[in-house]
Amino acid sequence: MPNFLIAMILTCTLVSHVNTESLPAHPVSVVQADVYVDQARTTMKLTCFAEDLELLQGVEALESGFYDSEELLDAVKEHAQYLARRIEILDLSGEPIDAKVTQIIEFEIPDGGIKAGQLMQYLMGFVLEYEHSNPPEFLTFRQNMVADGALLPSELKILLKQAGSDTPYTHMMKPGVPQTFRFDWDSPLLAPDAAQEDWESWFTDQREKTLGIDSYSSTYSFIYINNHEVRHEVLIPLATLAALIDFERADNRFLDVSEQATARKKIEAWFSSGNPVTIDQKQIAPTFDRIDFYGLDLKDFAIQAEARKVSMASGRVGVIMSHPTDQPPEKVAVMWDMFNHAIRSVDSVIFAYDETLTKAFSKFLADNTFTWQTKSKRELPRLTPVATQLGDWTPDVTFRTPWFSVVMGSIAFAVWILKPLLTISFTRLIAGSLIALLTAIVFHWSTPLANRASIPIPFASPREFKLPDAEAQCIFEKLHTNLFQAFDFREPSDVYDALANTVDGPLLRELYLDIQRSLKMREQGGAVAKIDHVETIRSEPTDEISINRSNENARDEMIKNQTSFKRPTFGWQCEWNLSGTVEHWGHIHQRINQYDAKFNVSACDGNWKITRLQMTDNQGTVKTSLRKLETKDLRINE
């Protein structure tokens, strides 16, 4: 920007900021900063009262009642350097950008000089420039203009414009309280007279880009209520916590990795001291799942951050507190009582099962408790085994008859075989044999089938087990549903026990670990996704998964997998999509795994169970989305 244009704008700013006819005494320094940010540099035009030379530079009136004019002019130059040091612009990593004083606009001193107490009638101006090596996405402003013995802190009133937009950002800054601005060079802030639908589209676009976390000085609160826990997630500026907690650090500007472990303990202790959570009339202490430190470049706070030093001015802390429960909660109360000079209010979004609510916590409100009560009693899933209802089915070809018939038939047969050795008459032999045979036949037909004995027929080929496809499909679908409903439980032991209703043998542990592994999201620090949906793409009968009998260890393998050649078994092939989600701070991470596998389903102790599995394909994708918080969908918790 040409110097003459800067001077003209600054002169207009000076005139518009002062009425020299009558100005009261001002006990605090107020500096106006008109900031223009383009991709190459930031230009800051500062306008302030000459009284700041007295407040901040120590200029005093002489015994004559007038200020020394030369001292005033020297103090103006010193004040330019003072402002360049005390008004900082920090880059993405929190490092200060060098400030260069490019222009000083002095106030005109009348011939007679300036009387003591009259400096408020004069304005002075300065232009600072900050060069950027790359177009900045974030700039953090921080001022530390502090006058010794001042009754009130110095204030910096920022009016900031981004190149390509005529709509300014405004903010009043107090010493030591940083403010971060974000710049979208592809879609800068719209003009004030833009259409309503354009503004709505712009805000939606910005919200998607920032994943809903678009304030860098606010404290965010998200509360989740589900079957297993009440989870409270807090995203808070590191500068806010530093005003409440003493963090030991070698460099006051940063919190290093080696210092973060101690900082975590202090943060945990601070959050443990308040904000009680009550579930079904019982106060539950928090378990801290994560305390992470984030820089400005991380937009998705659901991702576990890598360890690195963070800026005290622009860093943020993510705290995840879990309040576990053994049963689905019926009544929940969450209080925010940790208000102070740094935290005056907190807006919270609550996701209670399928409900979305909001609650405003404030030190100026009498009631700062969010309460929720279930509309209907919820229960954890109960997985029941799938009974076989096969009776004593056997693959052997058998003759079913009462044992008495077997004995009588055997006597008749033995009599004819032993006839040459017997001394009885032929008539009696015939009569005895017929009586034994008829008795066997009568008992055979008069005895119910369930009470008959099964007598294997030697050398007969084993029967092939065959279920109707419709019946087999019904059995498999129940087992397949149970397979994933088992992961609705929280504790690994409960998941394992529920899974045992569906899977048999060593496959039980193997399948448990495989599913658990597939649901873990590495970018979520290993968090296990909650299964949302199982979509069957293809389901059809197939041949059983066979064991290679030629292998000398075939029988050992058969025993290991408890897949007996004699028990009823059918094969089934299924292709399905498994959708699971992990959600933090309103960010939904969804993993979709696609599977194609063959199964053996066998009768085990009266129940159908999966005994063998052969995966033919497994692929997965992860996508991130933002929880939609439409106004019409929100309910305010009173």
Q: What is the rounded average pLDDT of the residues 100-127?
A: 92
By the 8 A CB rule, do 314 and 295 touch? yes
Element (DSSP H or E) covering residue 431: helix 426-446
Extract the tokens encoding 552.
């000398």
Element (DSSP H or E) covering residue 499: helix 492-499
What pTM was computed for the model?
0.76
Cα(295)–Cα(214) distance, rounded to whole angstroms?
14
What count of other Cβ atoms lies within 10 Å of the Cβ of residue 67? 24
What pLDDT is recorded for position 555?
Answer: 42
Provide the mean pLDDT of the chain. Answer: 81
- C-alpha distances (whole Å) from 219 to each of 214, 268, 343 are 11, 16, 8
Q: Phi/psi at 52 (nearest 5 deg)? A: -60, -25
The torsion region of residue 113 among left (phi > 0), alpha (psi -120 to 50) and beta comes to: left
What pLDDT is recorded for position 21?
Answer: 39
Pick the CATH number of 469-631 from 3.90.400, 3.40.50, 1.25.10, 3.10.450: 3.10.450
Q: Which of the pair, 388 or 574, is modelled with greater confidence?
A: 574
Q: What is the rounded average pLDDT of the residues 618-624?
A: 68
What pLDDT is recorded for position 399?
Answer: 55
Question: In the chain, where are the structural domains located?
Answer: 3-190, 220-373, 398-453, 469-631
What pLDDT is recorded for position 34?
Answer: 96
Cα(441)–Cα(447) distance, rounded to whole angstroms?
10
Strands 277-279 and 331-335 come out as antiparallel
pLDDT confidence tier of residue 324, bands split at 50, 70 and 90: very high
**Ordered alpha helix ranges (H), 211-256:** 238-242
What pLDDT is recorded for position 190?
Answer: 86
By the 8 A CB rule, do 275 and 338 touch? yes
Cα(18)–Cα(456) distance, rounded to whole angstroms?
112
Q: Which of the pair, 26 or 293, is modelled with greater confidence?
A: 293
What pLDDT is recorded for position 23?
Answer: 38
- C-alpha distances (whole Å) from 302 to each of 124, 498, 521, 523 are 48, 30, 11, 8
Q: Which of the pair, 270 or 5, is modelled with greater confidence?
A: 270
Extract the tokens encoding 111.
């011939």
Cβ-based burial of 406 (10 A; exposed 0-12, middle 13-18, buried ≥19)? middle
Residue 24 pLDDT more than 80?
A: no
By the 8 A CB rule, do 125 and 46 touch? yes
Cα(189)–Cα(170) distance, rounded to whole angstroms?
13
Q: What is the rounded average pLDDT of the residues 179-196?
A: 90
**Strand arrangement of the beta sheet that strand 41-49 belongs to:** 100-105, 123-131, 41-49, 30-37, 155-162, 169-173
User: How far from the centroid of its chain's Cα atoms is residue 42's Cα?
Assistant: 36
- C-alpha distances (whole Å) from 46 to each of 177, 185, 447 are 19, 25, 109
What pLDDT is recorded for position 163?
Answer: 94
By the 8 A CB rule, do 369 and 402 touch? no
| Tally of CA atoms within 13 A in the half-sphere of 339 that contains its CB | 16
Task: Encode pLDDT of 489-505 as tens digits.
Answer: 878 888 888 888 899 88
By the 8 A CB rule, do 224 and 230 touch? yes
Question: Above pLDDT 90, what percent of the chain?
Answer: 42
Cα(574)–Cα(616) distance, rounded to whole angstroms?
10
What pLDDT is recorded for position 400?
Answer: 60
Extract the tokens encoding 6.
């800067």
| Tally of CA atoms within 13 A in the half-sphere of 608 that contains its CB | 25
Cα(570)–Cα(544) distance, rounded to whole angstroms?
6
Question: Above pLDDT 70, what percent of the chain?
Answer: 75
What count of other Cβ atoms lies within 10 Å of the Cβ of residue 153? 17
Cα(431)–Cα(283) distance, rounded to whole angstroms?
89
Task: Encode pLDDT of 365-417 as tens digits.
Answer: 999 999 999 988 888 777 888 888 765 555 555 556 565 566 666 666 666 66
Span of 30-39, 292-301, 377-386, 432-441 with lowest mean pLDDT: 432-441
What pLDDT is recorded for position 32?
Answer: 94
Cα(194)–Cα(171) distance, rounded to whole angstroms?
22
Cα(189)–Cα(436) distance, rounded to whole angstroms?
106
Cα(301)–Cα(304) distance, rounded to whole angstroms?
7
Strands 635-636 and 355-362 come out as parallel
DSSP letters for 247-291: ---SSTTEE-HHHHHHHHHHHHHHHHTS--EEETTEE---EEEEE
What pLDDT is recorded for position 626?
Answer: 62
Residue with tokens 């005390």: 86
pLDDT confidence tier of residue 247, bands split at 50, 70 and 90: very high
Residue with tokens 């028990």: 567
Residues 6+ apart with CB under 8 A from 15: none
- The number of helices, as runs of H, and strands, as runs of E, in the chain is 12, 31
The torsion region of residue 462 among left (phi > 0), alpha (psi -120 to 50) and beta comes to: beta
